[in-house]
């Protein structure tokens, strides 16, 4: 093994921080849906297809709202143009 130095991590950009917030919002939507609509005591492999679809719909809706908000707030962001294409 060579004694190589690892590169210093770059500081998080505004887009990186926003992506962390986006993940947190989507997880929050998932947890909220699980608590409000499904019995959280059940193992995940017992969920029906419809229940799984409703989970994905909750997360997708949260994602769309958050990305739409980001497009309004920071239209110059590099990541925004990519997300805007996904929303078309």
DSSP string, 29-50: HHHHHHHHHS-TTS-GGG--HH
Question: Which residues neighbour 88 within 8 Å (Cβ) at sequence distance 6 or greater?
Answer: none
Q: Name the band, by pLDDT with cuts 50, 70 and 90, for residue 54.
A: very high
CB of 62 closer than 8 Å to CB of 28: yes
- pLDDT for position 4: 76
pLDDT, one tens digit per residue, over 7-20 is 888 888 888 888 89
- pLDDT for position 2: 65
Range 41-74 burial, b when 16+ CB lie within 10 A, else e: eeeeeebeeebeeebeebbeebbeebbeebbeee
Mean pLDDT over each residue of the chain, to the nearest integer? 86
pLDDT surpassing 70 at residue 86: yes
Read off the pTM: 0.74
- Higher per-residue pLDDT: 84 or 45: 45
pLDDT, one tens digit per residue, over 55-83 is 999 999 999 999 999 888 887 777 777 88
CB of 83 closer than 8 Å to CB of 77: no
* Domain ranges within the chain, ordered by starting residue: 14-39+49-87
């Amino acid at each position: 093994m060579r004694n190589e130095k690892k590169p210093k991590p770059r500081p998080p950009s505004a887009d990186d921080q926003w992506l962390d917030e986006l993940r947190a919002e989507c997880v929050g939507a998932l947890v909220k849906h699980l608590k409000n609509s499904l019995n959280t005591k059940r193992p995940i492999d017992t969920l029906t297809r419809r229940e799984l679809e409703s989970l994905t719909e909750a997360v997708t809706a949260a994602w769309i709202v958050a990305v739409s908000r980001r497009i309004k707030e920071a239209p110059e962001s590099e990541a925004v143009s990519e997300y805007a294409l996904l929303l078309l």
